[in-house]
Amino acid sequence: MTWGTYGTYVLFVLLVLIVPGPDTALVLKNSLAGGRRGGVLTALGIGSGNLVQGVAAALGLSAVIVRSEPVFLTLRWAGAAYLGYLGVKALVAAKRGDYAALSTANPGGGRRWREGFLGNLTNPKVLVFYLSMLPQFLTRDSTLAESLLLAATVGVLATLWQLVIVAGVHRIRGWLRRRRVRRTLDGVTGTALLGFGAALALDA
């Protein structure tokens, strides 16, 4: 693999990452609920999930999962259910609007990380993405180290992109702390998460 090929790969991954998806919705939700720390931990969880799935793809495990229909369907339904659960939580928070009480009972960072990690890990579309993308940049002569490099690159770039979103949210934190704005954003992110979960469940 040449540096030119790797550069093209990096550009392609960046173009894919900037398209809003479940990961972005999770980071926005937890940046609002847990501040900068909550957003950063969620981003790190997402990056960890990406890394696990990328390594699995590089080692060939993802192909086994995708080809095993019961396992793949179980993973898909688990991902849909988890996104739906997080979406409902955000909508409930928007309806209540009791953010003062929530701030005094703010969950630990482990929960923020787990939400990012599980949200990404239970999304089978990430597995399919890796399996369809990596072969385009590898040849018969490519080594396992090159496959792992491509997989790790996605995890690193995904984390960096989500951290950019967290930084953007932090810059306008004063405006976002307004109750009406917060309720609107919770409603939007909750609806988005439910939508992503429904799309995942209904995807053929």
Q: Is residue 183 part of a domain?
A: yes
Q: Is residue 105 part of a domain?
A: yes
Residue 92 lies in a domain: yes
Check whether 11 has a pLDDT greater than 80: yes
pLDDT at 171 over 90: no
Residue 198 in any domain: the answer is yes
Domain count, the chain: 1
**Residue range of the domain that includes 183:** 3-7+22-202
| Residue 17 belongs to some domain of the structure | no
Residue 15 lies in a domain: no
The larger pLDDT score, comparing residue 148 to residue 136, is at 148
Residue-wise pLDDT tens digits, 59-118: 887 677 667 778 777 877 887 888 788 788 878 877 776 655 545 445 566 889 999 999
Instruction: Report the candidate in 127, 124, 111, 126 with the shortest Cα–Cα distance to residue 45.
Output: 111
**Confidence at residue 107, expressed as pLDDT on a 0 to 100 scale:** 57
Q: Evaluate whether residue 98 is within a structural domain.
A: yes
For position 98, what pLDDT does the model report? 63
171 located within any domain = yes
What's the rounded Cα separation, in Å, for the pair 186 and 9? 34
Length of the chain: 204
Place of tokens 């799309």: 199
DSSP string, 89-121: HHHHHHHH--HHHHHHTPPPHHHHHHHHHHHHH
Q: Residue 99's pLDDT is what? A: 56
Mean pLDDT, residues 125-141:
79
